[in-house]
Copies of this chain bind each other. A is one copy, B any other.
Amino acid sequence: MAEKRLLEPATYLFPAPCVVVSCADGGETNLITLAWAGTLCSEPPQVGIGVRRNRHSHGLLTRGGDYVVNIPAEDQARAVDFCGVRSGREVDKWDATGLTPVPAEKVASPLIAEFPVNLECAVRRTLELGSHDLFIGEIVAVQIDESILGPEGKIDDKRFKPLVYSFGGRYRGLGNPAGAAGFSVRGQ
């Protein structure tokens, strides 16, 4: 059995989803790439995003009370990365990336037209955890590109080609299939 090395506590939970969150307060909007984003609950569907308090988007999220989780495809990694390293205080990220804001269906924050999946979220709770505040959002509407839906109206990841955030700060696409939910007990 492999030897284990004991390391200091740090954030090692990867691969993580790779998302760009759009938010708004009045007429001002911003985009922020977050590595700390995930589903927390199925019914009602809720996600959590962890945002540092010194980020420009933190104020918009706090005042605006909603956000959109936009999920990119593999070939959109450059815009994703840019929205993570630049600040909305200094640059208009919509202009800089060429991404297009589109009014959402149920929330005030705009969605990113070019990203294939958009989850419209209303903030239900905010938790102070330390370096990051957790904005728990209920998913109140979902918009999905027709082009990534399979014949049954479900997302087909071969058409989508989503991006993930892996160990060591690497963006990667998805690779080989390794089974589907329930495969270990099928036929038993």
Contact = CB atoms under 8 A, between A and B. Distances in A.
Interface of A: 1-17, 19, 35-48, 50, 69, 71, 74-75, 77-79, 81-82, 84-86, 100, 105, 113-114, 116-119, 125, 127, 129-132, 134, 136, 138-147, 149-150, 153-157, 160, 162-164, 166-185
A16 B41 contact: no
A182 to B, nearest CB: 6
Contacts of A171: 177-181
A140 B9 CA distance: 5
Contacts of A78: 179, 183-184
Given A5-B143, A40-B132, A171-B181, 11 more contacts: A7-B144, A15-B17, A16-B17, A39-B50, A41-B130, A74-B176, A79-B184, A154-B168, A166-B174, A173-B175, A175-B175
A134 to B, nearest CB: 5
A39 to B, nearest CB: 5
B45 A36 contact: no
A100 B2 CA distance: 12
Nearest to A129: B41
Q: How many copies, total? A: 2
Contact of A9 (B12, B37, B84, B139): B139
A37 B114 CA distance: 27
A100 to B, nearest CB: 7
Nearest to A117: B12
Nearest to A9: B139
A10 B142 contact: yes
B170 A172 contact: no
Given A44-B130, A178-B77, A12 B170 contact: no
Contacts of A15: 15, 17, 157, 162, 164, 174
